[in-house]
């Protein structure tokens, strides 16, 4: 009976999700047009209990083409010294910015891209930070739109009011 108890406990532990969870991810602006403003990827993360002031949260995202070729790796590290577990559950929001460029610093082509986000809880050590907990990956898709060409902007120029009254009078006479 004792062996069964140990096996049950072990089995139960194996399937528990990590205490570090990505709650949700939002991207803006949508549609995303490279070369305009950066794409903001906002990631909300639930943190485990009992953090120390030495802990760091690293949120990273890999953006890739449908062809599976990864094009950009983004990450942000936050010191968790300020995050206090008052009620035992902490949430933190962090943002990653993508300039719409690939690894060769060229603007990407329009299309559907995939992203994968991961959160890591790390602790400062004498050397590089050590990873303590890694969240499950969260995946999503991004639509990248065609940059507006000059052709599509030209009609808007017709709506610019003329500043000289003389031209308006000539147009009226000529028409």
Question: Cα angle vertex 40, ends 89, 30, to 5°?
Answer: 115
Q: What is the pLDDT of residue 29?
A: 93
pLDDT at position 15 = 58
- How many whole angstroms separate alpha carbon 76 and alpha carbon 90? 18
Which has the closest alpha carbon to 133: 4, 40, 37, 20? 20
Cis peptide leading into residue 147 (ω within 30°): no
**The pLDDT value given to residue 6:** 53
pLDDT for position 96: 96
pTM of the model: 0.70
Residue 91: the pLDDT is 86
Across the 175 residues of the chain, what is the mean pLDDT of every consecutive 10-residue run? 54 67 94 90 90 87 81 88 58 93 90 94 87 93 77 44 48 48
pLDDT score for 16: 72
């Amino acid at each position: 009976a004792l062996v069964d108890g140990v096996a049950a406990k072990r089995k139960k532990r194996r399937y528990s999700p990590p205490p570090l969870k990505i709650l949700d991810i939002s991207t803006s602006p949508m549609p995303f047009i490279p070369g305009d403003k950066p794409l903001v990827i906002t990631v909300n993360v639930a943190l485990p209990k009992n953090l120390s002031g030495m802990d760091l949260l690293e949120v990273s995202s890999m953006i890739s083409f449908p062809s599976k070729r990864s094009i950009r790796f983004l990450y942000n590290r936050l010191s968790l010294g300020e995050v206090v577990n008052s009620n035992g559950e902490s949430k933190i929001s962090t943002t990653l910015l993508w300039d719409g460029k690939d690894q060769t610093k060229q603007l990407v082509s329009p299309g559907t891209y995939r992203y994968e986000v991961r959160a890591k809880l790390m602790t400062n050590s004498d050397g590089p930070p050590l990873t303590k907990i890694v969240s499950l990956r969260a995946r999503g898709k991004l639509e990248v739109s065609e940059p507006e060409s000059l052709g599509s902007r030209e009609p808007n120029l017709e709506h610019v009011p003329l500043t000289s009254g003389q031209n308006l009078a000539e147009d009226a006479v000529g028409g």
